[in-house]
Amino acid sequence: LNTLNIDNIRAEFPILDQDINGKKLVYFDNAATTQKPQVVIDAISNYYTGYNSNIHRGVHHLAEKATSAFELSRKTIKEFINAESTEEIIFTYGTTDGINLVAQTYGRSFLKAGDEIIISTMEHHSNIVPWQMLCEEKGCVLKVIPINDEGDILFDEYKKLLSEKTKIVSVVYASNALGTVNPIAEIIEEAHKVGAVTLVDAAQAMSHIDIDVQALDIDFLCFSAHKLYGPTGMGALYGKKELLNKMPPWRGGGEMIKEVTFEKTTYNELPYKFEAGTPNIADVIGITAAIDYVNKLGKKNIADYENELLEYATERFEAISGLKIIGRAKVKVSVLSFVIDGIHPQDIGVLLDQQGIAIRTGHHCTQPLMQRLDLVGTSRASFAVYNTKGEIDRMVEGIEKAKRFLL
Ligand code: PMP
């Protein structure tokens, strides 16, 4: 059972120790962004107080110190996802940025009219819109894997969509709206049979699931640090070296060049070819602290504990009359979406906030999924390693109170 000391863990997250509307904060909006432990806050603040400096070209002490801390993050990410080399890790401002990079470079260069891109019904807007923009420009066709009412993709339907026309399969590993964990290894295997490249949106999966990009044979993977106890506006794109090498750069500017003349510019090597301009150095450094933190707790321990919370919450929520859980996939991360008969999801969110409980309501940036499920939105509680069963009890009481007030 749970081997983590949750009281100690909670003490490492200073934000948790506060009252909201006169009640102790319960933070259940972790799928939107997780809170940050002190070690991450310190890593960022130490950079600014101790060695703020621009990276890579500096010859002075601070620039060297900043560069090595920055590059250490690349190595930390490489090891975290078991990439073959640090050249395959491109810093981005998050999952959204990574997907756009692939669409705008790989997509624009190698796809042509009539080529097909496959996504799933449960994609976040960030894994829909960049492909639609590409399709509009190039005349490609977007195909969507259907799901059942429980929120599992229909694998046989996916297989039927695949053909020699399929060039990209881009699928979310774990759904932020339903919690569904997709059978990513099988999805990739089938995509490769028709010669398509694969992109995995690992925004939600990173903090819950061990990901080995080589074992899974992933071509591209995107994630955001802020859902992994790290800073916002920072993430990485993993890409297989041979793919990244043949892709043109995207943003032009400093850092990404080898030599510039007015007549012609040559580009830098991987990974710098895709990193134009001065990056978000402090937050890149913060990711090392976040990953070290997750590694210290152990991803499996974190996942086991979160699953325990999910099971407990599922059981307790099932007992609330009029409440329906949305997302009954076979394998889930700790996301619990629900609706209550006769109550708008937003009203639940507002009334819980009055009791100091932070959840998310709405479409969760998955409007097509909501349309498929015939919902305007859901209320969503999502759990992280610092949450407790006591907090879930408080939420259940909160929902009962909201129901008495609204119904
Ligand atoms: N995909 C999924 C599954 C997500 O949950 C999110 C964030 N809600 C994103 C993509 C986008 O991440 P970001 O906003 O950090 O770019």
Q: What is the pTM of this model?
A: 0.98
CB atoms within 10 A of CB 407: 10
The 10s digit of each residue's pLDDT in 32-87 is 999 999 999 999 999 999 999 999 988 999 999 999 999 999 999 999 999 999 99
pLDDT in tens, the chain (407 residues): 568 999 999 999 999 999 999 999 999 999 999 999 999 999 999 999 999 999 998 899 999 999 999 999 999 999 999 999 999 999 999 999 999 999 999 999 999 999 999 999 999 999 999 999 999 999 999 999 999 999 999 999 999 999 999 999 999 999 999 999 999 999 999 999 999 999 999 999 999 999 999 999 999 999 999 999 999 999 999 999 999 999 999 999 999 999 999 999 999 999 999 999 999 999 999 999 999 999 999 999 999 999 999 999 999 999 999 999 999 999 999 999 999 999 999 999 999 999 999 999 999 999 999 999 999 999 999 999 999 999 999 999 999 999 999 98
- Give Dmax (Cα) for the chain: 72
Q: Measured between alpha carbons, how far is 242 from 87 in angstroms, rounded to an integer?
A: 11
**What CATH architecture does domain 6-30+298-406 belong to?**
Alpha-Beta Complex (3.90)
DSSP string, 344-389: -HHHHHHHHHTTTEE-EEE-TT-HHHHHHHT-S-EEEEE--TT--H
Report the pocket of ligand 1 as residue ranges, CB < 6 Å. Answer: 94-96, 124, 126-127, 172, 176, 201, 203-204, 224, 365
Atom of ligand 1 nearest to the CA of 96: 16
DSSP single-letter state for residue 31: T
- Helix 299-318 vs helix 281-297: crossing angle, to nearest 10: 80
Residue having the nearest C-alpha atom to atom 8 of ligand 1 = 32
Amino acid found at 23? K
> Which pLDDT score, from 0 to 100, does residue 407 have?
87
Atom of ligand 1 nearest to the CA of 97: 16
Catalytic residue among 135, 140, 222, 365: 365
CB atoms within 10 A of CB 43: 25
DSSP single-letter state for residue 180: B
Q: Measured between alpha carbons, how far is 395 from 314 in angstroms, rounded to an integer?
A: 12
Atom of ligand 1 nearest to the CA of 32: 8
Going from the Cα of 60 to the center of ligand 1, the distance in angstroms, rounded, reads 37
Could you give the dihedral angle defined by the CA atoms of residues 286, 289, 291 and 294, in that order, rounded to the nearest 10 degrees? -130
Atom of ligand 1 nearest to the CA of 98: 16
The answer, yes or no, to whether ipTM is higher than 0.95 is: yes
Which CATH fold topology does 41-295 show? Aspartate Aminotransferase; domain 2 (3.40.640)
- Helix 389-406 vs helix 345-353: crossing angle, to nearest 10: 120
The residue whose CB lies within 8 Å of the most ligand 1 atoms, and thus the one to mutate among 172, 176, 200, 237, is 176
Positive or negative torsion for Cα 60, 66, 70, 75: positive
> Which pLDDT score, from 0 to 100, does residue 2 have?
67
Q: Measured between alpha carbons, how far is 292 from 99 in angstroms, rounded to an integer?
A: 25
The residue whose CB lies within 8 Å of the most ligand 1 atoms, and thus the one to mutate among 91, 102, 126, 173, is 126
Q: To the nearest 5 percent, what fractions of the chain are helix, strand and coil?
A: 45, 20, 35
> Which pLDDT score, from 0 to 100, does residue 1 have?
54
Counting other chains too, the contacts that 310-317 makes at CB distance below 8 Å and 24 or more residues apart are 310/179, 310/334, 310/335, 310/336, 310/383, 312/389, 312/392, 313/381, 313/383, 313/392, 313/395, 316/392, 316/393, 316/396, 317/396, 317/399
What H or E segment, with its residue span, contains residue 265? strand 265-267
**Domain boundaries along the sequence of the chain:** 6-30+298-406, 41-295
Q: Measured between alpha carbons, how far is 388 from 160 in angstroms, rounded to an integer?
A: 43
Q: Is the preceding peptide bond at 14 cis, omega within 30 degrees of 0?
A: no
> Which pLDDT score, from 0 to 100, does residue 58 have?
81
The 10s digit of each residue's pLDDT in 49-60 is 999 999 998 899
H helical segments located in 139-240: 155-161, 184-193, 213-216
Judge whether 365 counts as a catalytic residue.
Answer: yes
> Which pLDDT score, from 0 to 100, does residue 3 have?
85
Going from the Cα of 59 to the center of ligand 1, the distance in angstroms, rounded, reads 37
The residue whose CB lies within 8 Å of the most ligand 1 atoms, and thus the one to mutate among 122, 127, 131, 224, is 224
Residue having the nearest C-alpha atom to atom 6 of ligand 1 = 203
What H or E segment, with its residue span, contains residue 40? helix 38-46
Q: CB of 402 within 8 A of CB of 343?
A: yes
